[in-house]
Amino acid sequence: MTTDRSQLTSRVIPKMELGDGAPGSLSGPLSPITHKDAAARAQERFAVSGNVIVTGGTGDLGFQACQALLEHGARGLVIFDLDMEVGRAKEKSLQSQFPDAVISFLRVDVTDEEGVDHAVNWVQDHLGSVNVMVCFAGVVSTQHAVDITAEQFRKVLDVNLTGSFLCAQAAARCMIAAKRRGSIILTASISGHRPNWPQPQVSYNVSKAGVLAMKDSLAAEWGVHGIRVNTISPGYMDTILNEGAGLDWHKSQWFSRNPMGRMGQPEELMGAVVLLASRAGVYITGEDIRCDGGQNLMM
């Protein structure tokens, strides 16, 4: 929405509200852990409470996150993804591992504003709350900047950046309406910090840099509601996206610039996911956690 130049002097600009941190408020501290047993205190500190949505939850990283969040206590989990057959299989697999949890799959296109809003509200209605939103849905593009079309460029930004925003927005609306604290975890990338070597991927890099900037804005706006917004920046991970002999030379370049000399395993990302979703991360917001084996140090 634009304002006519003649009306600029009379416009009213919205203003943000900050929390006051008062005890009992959504921005205030949690009640202390009171367990006398050390193991019980440790378990509560990293417990994931309530219900979780994981977008892109059928992929290697997203599915690993689903398992980790359920292992740490999530009572309900809904996967958002596109492939119905794969999604149902993943849902069945998780349900067999966690029979006491309520697990569902919904076919959701994260770029569809109405569809995302409907799906998040479905979770709110059927499970009673939306407590954690984890966004792994994304696409990768590696093309020379002089060759990429506007349509291709917009597609990557639409999925990775706009899609993350729509999911975060819909989750925050539910949390705010219910007056509940919440955690929103977005997936950025080392590619959002600086360009990769040697593959050209301008649209992907820009989309992930946008996710990093968006995280800051949302964390600033929603802190008063007790909603924390953070990002995780994976490095090169050992997933299907990085398989195949055609990447062997590129991998040699990645490894030559990595202090650990290897890609990360999906499990190695899960400590950050659990931290940000649990009580242990209750005073962390607007932060990015790089999980890259030091790759970004050498890029």
State pLDDT tens for residues 151-160: 999 999 999 9
Considering 141, 207, 208, 278, which one is annotated as catalytic?
208
Mean pLDDT of 250-272: 93
pLDDT per position as a tens digit, 60-72: 999 999 999 999 9
DSSP state of 47: P
Residue 177, pLDDT score? 97
CA atoms within 13 A on the CB side of 296: 14
Rounded Cα distance, 196 and 3, in Å: 40
Mean pLDDT for the chain overall: 95
Rounded Cα distance, 192 and 272, in Å: 18
Considering only residues 169 and 2, tell me which one the structure prediction assigns the higher pLDDT. 169
Considering 204, 207, 233, 236, which one is annotated as catalytic?
204
pLDDT at 3 over 80: no
Domains of the chain (ranges, CATH numbers): 36-298 (3.40.50.720)
Considering 189, 191, 203, 207, which one is annotated as catalytic?
189
Rounded Cα distance, 193 and 81, in Å: 27
Q: Which amino acid is at 232?
A: I
pLDDT per position as a tens digit, 5-58: 777 777 788 999 999 999 999 999 999 998 889 999 999 999 999 999 999 999
Give yes or no: 25 in active site: no
pLDDT at 125 over 70: yes
**Helix, strand, or coil here: 64?**
helix
Helix (H) or strand (E) holding 217: helix 202-222
**Helix, strand, or coil here: 120?**
helix
Mean pLDDT of 120-137: 98
Rounded Cα distance, 185 and 229, in Å: 6
pLDDT over 90 percentage in the chain: 86
Mean pLDDT of 154-174: 98
Structure tokens at 52: 């979780």
Residue 229, pLDDT score? 98
Give yes or no: 252 in active site: no
Closest by CA to 183, choosing from 156, 223, 217, 153, is 223
Residue 135, pLDDT score? 98
1 band by pLDDT with thresholds 50, 70 and 90: low
Give yes or no: 31 in active site: no
pLDDT at 2 over 80: no
pLDDT per position as a tens digit, 219-242: 999 999 999 999 999 999 998 878
212, 288 Cβ separation under 8 angstroms: yes
pLDDT per position as a tens digit, 186-217: 999 999 999 999 999 999 999 999 999 999 99
DSSP state of 32: P
CA 21 to chain CA centroid, Å, is: 25
pTM, full prediction: 0.95
